[in-house]
Structure 1
Amino acid sequence: MRLLSPRAVALFAHSGCFARPPPTAGRSRPFAGPAVAFLQRETCERRSGKHPPPSRRPFPGIFALHPDLPSGAASMSAQAGNAGGGPPTDDAVVRDVSIKLTPSEERLFDVMTAAAESYERGDLSVDESQSNLKFRKKDERDEGPSDREAPRERIEIRVAGGWVRDKILGMESSDVDVALDNVSGVRFASIVQEYLLKLERDGTIPAPKKRHRICVISANPDQFKRLETATMKVFDGELDFVHLRPPEGAGRDFGSPREDALLRDFTANALFYNVRTRRVEDWTGRGADDLLGRGEAGRRVIATPLDASETFCDDPLRALRAVRFAVRLDADLSDGVRSAVMKNEEVRRKLQGEGRGSVSRERVGKELEGMLSGAGAKPGCALSMLIELDLAPLVFPLPQGAGLGDIEEGQYWMKASDHVQALADAIKYYNQGEGLANDSKTPAFQPLVKSAEMRLLHLSTCLSPFRDLSYEFKKERYQTVVTYMIKEGIKFKNKDEAAISKLLGNVESMRSLLRALGRQLAGTGEHPMEDKLTDTLPSLLPPVETGMLLRKVKELWPTCLILASVLEIRAVAGGGDTTAGGFGTVQDVLRTSGEFHRAVIRQGLDNAWKLRPLLDGRAVVSTLGLGKPGPMVQVYIEEQIKWILLHPDGTKDDCELHLRKVQKERDAAPMR
């Protein structure tokens, strides 16, 4: 006899499955649903000549072909839900929440419903091993199944998770995850595919130009993927099909909707949309209220259906996901979630990658990417929350040999929190400002923010306190701690590591230029926003030094400029590196950085990294008589760039004279 775990017993108590009656016979539908009835009727009418073949008339969509077909959710659900076995129990239906479907979603759900009805009546015969039409013989594609099978049990089709959440909040979503109650995801995908093939044979829909195979993603419990998933493209959307998950130790393959909902990460993600009844279902009893902020505090809440520690041990990555959803939805973390994230050692150990059942660094990086970019991303808020919950050291682990103890590392992350907050204040100032550009409604410094790479800016700002730390990663070979964090900690691409290294490696030079401009602006005794002063700004930036720096950071120069401003703000506030000749106030820093951006553009330096020498390598060797190419060629190439920055309208002949002069001076200089 197999004993159930305490977690499974708790789930049974929640779900009431001890009292669940066995499936009854005769739950098949006594008649076809409206979608199937119409398709069959239209096929008969076409054969009798009442309708032209579909190839001779336009195709507006699978269920927009006939005016008699009900297209609304209410008319479809009334018939689909009341025929046969009927909808699920009403205690899970959220009656005061509805979802408005788009035409494409209506079409997709109508197809899935009609496919299920056809399968339940025995009209479809599905062989999952042959579900990929690409590998079928031609006669099999033409003829299709011919044997009518016995009626089958009703399939309840539900869309789960993010699509339901976003649609309730009025946002569009293409992330459609379909959950089935009594067939596997692979089998239902095969049912839908077989049904679409039947429609093609009947001439109801045109054959697609390219058939999409059903891809099966196997379960991988070691990486917390508990169920096999089938993916398939239907019309223009990618769908995932999976069966409802039972509790561990239940001894059966299929779970109930309540069991599945209780095993999901958060109550707001545990809502279902029943495709056949067109109703929202909340089997946790809390999902709709938590999502819509209908609790006592009047705020959205990120909470787990069961105990948060158990939920996070089931997949520790959910601790990071809690941060992402809290920031995206502007929601609070429940006390249980906050406690589990900060205090549960097993969750923290697995999230850091230690021991059996740990989370892969790739999954950590992917979750972080969701915080930094994409729809609804608020990277500053997300990074601040990671630091606040003491998750940042787990996301960005230090390499062995970094030489920091826990207390010292904590101090570095406190600095990082201050830097991220300073960045948020700077962006707010740039976007709102205290002046308008060209008498328009656009804040004068807003273009600076728009030209910055916000994802890299937030990441480099957060990691900037670690920029001077390095470690020996091979014998007598060193690299920065930040490089390790990016490449090994979160497994970001090499181009991301290169960009962040470029920003952090040149930010001190940018700070020097920024302070130099600040001193000149302060020396004028006038407000830097006044037209009289801004007209003279191009002459305030040293073209060679500025241009050569911009050639190093290239298109990231606005990002580097804001990063330098953040470090200067922290220096002014007494929480950063102090330097001689710094700024007096935070406003001075922000004004100067905004004027720096405008001056670079006015001076024509914003594309300095695209400058090409007037004489290429061969011309340099020939003109200066160097004999053969060597290291000196690059010296004179760089000398040309400096000359062009000083003389943007200079000619090739003038440049040659300059190079000869430089060569003569170098030859006359004493050897060192």
Structure 2
Amino acid sequence: MKRYLSTNSKLLYESMKSNVTRSIQLTDTEHNIRNTLVKYCNHYNQTNHNKPLTLRITGGWVRDKLLGYDSHDIDIAVNNLTGEEFVHGLQNYLRTNEPELSMNHVHTIKMNPQKSKHLETCTTKLYGIDLDFINLRSEEYTDDSRVPSIEFGTPLQDALRRDATLNALFYNLNEQEIEDFTGKGMEDLTNGVLRTPLPPIKTFLDDPLRILRLIRFASKFNFLIDSETLDAMKEKHNQEALSTKISKERIEIELRKILTSSNPGYGLQLINYCDLTSIIFFVKQLKNEFESDELERSLQQIPHHVNIASSIYLTFEQLILKSSIKHIFQKFLKDPDMRYNFWLSIILNPYVNVSSKDIFSQFLRLGLTAKKSDIVKITTINLASHDILKNDSNIRSDWGIYLRQFSSFYDLNLLVQCFLECVNAIKVDIPHEIPIPNHKLQTSDSQRSIILGVITKYESIFDKITKMNLLDVYLMKPLIDGTSLSKHFQMKPGPWLKPATEEVLKWQLDHPNGSKDECLEYIKHVVQK
């Protein structure tokens, strides 16, 4: 792997290079914040010559500003005080010297190792911007715990504990200059390369979640991951640590950000390449509830399934954006929740081979602690019968009943089914190479034709349900409800009522201009049967 990257490094690095500025231009609001904070530092330092205050903005704000993005995620590291001590001192100073800037809302978030909150943070607002204050720190981890021992640290120690060199850049507010204590941050940011400040084995053993964080940054910014770092991400003991030391909530947060990033296919290729599918998309508790052979077969299919899906996605996106249903896909691109449910529905689809219908809800609950709304959508999309998509019925009630299963997310379901048909139709072995940003499967003319053919089919489906006026069918209420049926036929509610109500809906869909009396006459014959 290292030989592959070194041979092609010039080509890859040239393609990955970012438009990185060498200095940070503050907005007017950021200038005001900086000037106020530095005034207080100067005031404090007049009586504390031995331990003068220096403030540094850390992390993502520095990276994003250098890449030319706006950022309001401002974390400020203090060198000789805790965040809470600094903010309370600033608060007292402003009351006396600039009362119009008095900070009324100060909140300290205490350490909570059980929730992966290892450092006290003090938050406040200045000039309408939320600010988080923390102290520079060093961290030491034990072999059997993700909870570090926290101490005051130097800027270098604070930089080295971070997940990537390009996230370890600081902006010194006092001096108004960028600080690169690792010596690699600016170079890596310019080249679009993610590498750990410390040897990656140590970085990941200290905190295995950093493996997913690097994949998230790679998929967000289309950056390469350094070959030594990538090797460490594949180490079995790091994968085991990710599985055993990290909460499912934390994994779900990172996965959601990967799947809603600008390049989710690249993120999935990295997950696959690092053999993380069985860590992320399976939990051992499932073996207690489901047939082990079925689980194993499904789990073996997921990497290949993900490999094809992630590799053809860009071609699929390119073609569908030229189609008559591009407005549906544009809605999808703008909706992070829709994208997240789309990708999880695709990834987990091999679990349909497990005979128990509870497999999706149980995995999503145990494996990702997913939200109830996500569980409902993903489970419904995967477990519903989609025979109508093959049979292409012209009966309005067939389509109406089918679409009502998915409520307002019927369009998400149809996008998932469209893409799944493409994935299942293109059964090719894709080389297990090092993933490269924006790299996609070089689809042959026949494979591209398959994808286009599937999209054309779904153009016809959307056209059909539009002409049948079924886009809002999930909002349709039965012309006659169960209570009215019971009263009309003078029958107690029982097993007969559900199929009778379903017949009301079917009749109503096939007779959109029919009356209640006409419907009752039809249902009378159904009830008699």
Are residue 215 (structure 1) and residue 73 (structure 2) matched? no
Alpha-carbon distance, 1:206 to partner: 6.4
Counterpart contact for 1:116–1:191, Cα < 8 Å: no
Counterpart of 1:363 (choices 243, 250, 272) is 250
1:551 maps to: 404
Counterpart contact for 1:431–1:449, Cα < 8 Å: yes
1:59-93 Cα distance to aligned partner (Å, 9 max, x none)? xxxxxxxxxxxxxxxxxxxxxxxxxxxxxxxxxxx
Counterpart contact for 2:277–2:302, Cα < 8 Å: no
Q: Distance in 1 between matches of 2:106 and 2:455?
A: 55
Which amino acid in the other structure matches residue 360 of structure 1?
S
1:586-643 Cα distance to aligned partner (Å, 9 max, x none)? 43221011221122122111111111112223321222232x3333333222211111
Quick one: structure 1 residues 614 and 481, their matched pair in 2 at CA, closer, same or farther if it must change by over 3 Å?
closer
1:168 maps to: 66
Are residue 192 (structure 1) and residue 102 (structure 2) matched? no
Q: Distance in 1 between matches of 2:458 and 2:70?
A: 38
Alpha-carbon distance, 1:408 to partner: 7.1
Alpha-carbon distance, 1:223 to partner: 6.6
1:660 maps to: 524
- Matched pairs, number: 474
2:9 maps to: none
2:487 maps to: 622
Counterpart of 1:227 (choices 107, 111, 119) is 119
Aligned ranges for residues 516-665 of structure 1 at < 5 Å? 516-517=391-392, 541-574=394-427, 585-626=450-491, 628-664=492-528
Alpha-carbon distance, 1:169 to partner: 0.5
Quick one: structure 1 residues 312 and 604, their matched pair in 2 at CA, closer, same or farther if it must change by over 3 Å?
same
Quick one: structure 1 residues 247 and 366, their matched pair in 2 at CA, closer, same or farther if it must change by over 3 Å?
closer
1:118-158 Cα distance to aligned partner (Å, 9 max, x none)? 22234xxxxxxxxxxxxxxxxxxxxxxxxxxx666321100
Higher fraction of helix: 2
Alpha-carbon distance, 1:270 to partner: 0.3
Are residue 313 (structure 1) and residue 205 (structure 2) matched? yes
1:466 maps to: 351
2:33 maps to: 108
Alpha-carbon distance, 1:558 to partner: 1.6
Counterpart contact for 2:486–2:493, Cα < 8 Å: yes
Q: Distance in 2 between matches of 1:625 and 1:431?
A: 55
Quick one: structure 1 residues 252 and 661, their matched pair in 2 at CA, closer, same or farther if it must change by over 3 Å?
closer
Which amino acid in the other structure matches residue 616 of structure 1?
D
Q: Distance in 2 between matches of 1:634 and 1:645?
A: 17
Q: Distance in 1 between matches of 2:465 and 2:195?
A: 49
Q: Distance in 2 between matches of 1:248 and 1:567?
A: 46
Counterpart of 2:272 (choices 384, 387, 405) is 387
Alpha-carbon distance, 1:346 to partner: 2.8
Are residue 348 (structure 1) and residue 213 (structure 2) matched? no
Which amino acid in the other structure matches residue 327 of structure 2?
P
Alpha-carbon distance, 1:258 to partner: 1.6
Counterpart of 1:483 (choices 352, 361, 384) is 361
Are residue 240 (structure 1) and residue 240 (structure 2) matched? no
Structure 2 residue matching 1:198: 3-state secondary structure:
helix
Q: Distance in 2 between matches of 1:265 and 1:445?
A: 41
Q: Which runs of 5+ in 2 are unaligned?
A: 1-19, 142-148, 333-337, 430-448
1:499 maps to: 377
Counterpart contact for 1:420–1:458, Cα < 8 Å: no
Alpha-carbon distance, 1:662 to partner: 2.3
Q: Select between 605-614 and 401-410 the one with higher mean Cα deviation.
A: 401-410
Alpha-carbon distance, 1:341 to partner: 0.7
Counterpart contact for 1:113–1:276, Cα < 8 Å: yes
Structure 2 residue matching 1:118: 3-state secondary structure:
helix
Q: Distance in 1 between matches of 2:150 and 2:504?
A: 76
Counterpart contact for 1:224–1:314, Cα < 8 Å: no
Alpha-carbon distance, 1:493 to partner: 1.3
Quick one: structure 1 residues 245 and 329, their matched pair in 2 at CA, closer, same or farther if it must change by over 3 Å?
same
Quick one: structure 1 residues 567 and 108, their matched pair in 2 at CA, closer, same or farther if it must change by over 3 Å?
same
Q: Distance in 2 between matches of 1:541 and 1:420?
A: 34
Counterpart contact for 1:219–1:229, Cα < 8 Å: no
Alpha-carbon distance, 1:245 to partner: 1.6
Which amino acid in the other structure matches residue 325 of structure 2?
F
Q: Select between 275-284 and 423-432 the one with higher mean Cα deviation.
A: 423-432
Counterpart of 2:307 (choices 402, 417, 426) is 417
Structure 1 residue matching 2:287: 3-state secondary structure:
coil
Alpha-carbon distance, 1:163 to partner: 0.5
Select the structure with the greater relative contact order (CA < 8 A; seq sep ≥ 6): 2
Q: Distance in 2 between matches of 1:595 and 1:195?
A: 68
Quick one: structure 1 residues 632 and 163, their matched pair in 2 at CA, closer, same or farther if it must change by over 3 Å?
same
Alpha-carbon distance, 1:291 to partner: 0.7
Structure 1 residue matching 2:130: 3-state secondary structure:
strand
Q: Distance in 2 between matches of 1:501 and 1:173?
A: 36
Aligned ranges for residues 266-285 of structure 1 at < 5 Å? 266-285=164-183
Q: Which runs of 5+ in 1 are unaligned?
A: 1-94, 123-149, 294-299, 434-443, 471-477, 518-539, 577-583, 667-672
Q: Distance in 1 between matches of 2:362 and 2:198?
A: 36
Q: Distance in 1 between matches of 2:272 and 2:123?
A: 36
Q: Distance in 2 between matches of 1:541 and 1:302?
A: 53
Counterpart contact for 1:448–1:597, Cα < 8 Å: no
Alpha-carbon distance, 1:421 to partner: 3.5
1:515-564 Cα distance to aligned partner (Å, 9 max, x none)? 233xxxxxxxxxxxxxxxxxxxxxx6321111101111112212211222
- The TM-score with structure 2 as length reference comes to 0.83
Counterpart contact for 2:159–2:182, Cα < 8 Å: yes
Query: What's the % identity of the aligned pairs?
Result: 28
Are residue 448 (structure 1) and residue 312 (structure 2) matched? no
Which amino acid in the other structure matches residue 323 of structure 1?
I
Which amino acid in the other structure matches residue 432 of structure 1?
K
Counterpart contact for 1:156–1:274, Cα < 8 Å: yes
Alpha-carbon RMSD: 2.7
Q: Distance in 1 between matches of 2:45 and 2:109?
A: 23
2:24 maps to: 99
Q: Distance in 2 between matches of 1:633 and 1:644?
A: 16
Q: Distance in 2 between matches of 1:503 and 1:252?
A: 46
2:10 maps to: none
Counterpart of 1:514 (choices 386, 389, 408) is 389
Structure 2 residue matching 1:467: 3-state secondary structure:
helix
Are residue 303 (structure 1) and residue 195 (structure 2) matched? yes
Which amino acid in the other structure matches residue 165 of structure 1?
R
Q: Distance in 2 between matches of 1:417 and 1:342?
A: 17
Which amino acid in the other structure matches residue 461 of structure 1?
I
1:180 maps to: 78
Quick one: structure 1 residues 267 and 554, their matched pair in 2 at CA, closer, same or farther if it must change by over 3 Å?
same
Alpha-carbon distance, 1:252 to partner: 9.8
Are residue 120 (structure 1) and residue 45 (structure 2) matched? yes
Structure 2 residue matching 1:238: 3-state secondary structure:
strand
Which amino acid in the other structure matches residue 308 of structure 2?
D
Quick one: structure 1 residues 457 and 184, their matched pair in 2 at CA, closer, same or farther if it must change by over 3 Å?
same
Quick one: structure 1 residues 548 and 197, their matched pair in 2 at CA, closer, same or farther if it must change by over 3 Å?
same
Q: Select between 567-576 and 634-643 the one with higher mean Cα deviation.
A: 567-576
Counterpart contact for 1:379–1:455, Cα < 8 Å: no
1:481-505 Cα distance to aligned partner (Å, 9 max, x none)? 3333311112111221111001101
Quick one: structure 1 residues 214 and 570, their matched pair in 2 at CA, closer, same or farther if it must change by over 3 Å?
closer
Quick one: structure 1 residues 346 and 189, their matched pair in 2 at CA, closer, same or farther if it must change by over 3 Å?
farther
Quick one: structure 1 residues 255 and 585, their matched pair in 2 at CA, closer, same or farther if it must change by over 3 Å?
closer
Structure 1 residue matching 2:137: 3-state secondary structure:
coil
Counterpart contact for 1:232–1:239, Cα < 8 Å: yes
Structure 1 residue matching 2:72: 3-state secondary structure:
coil
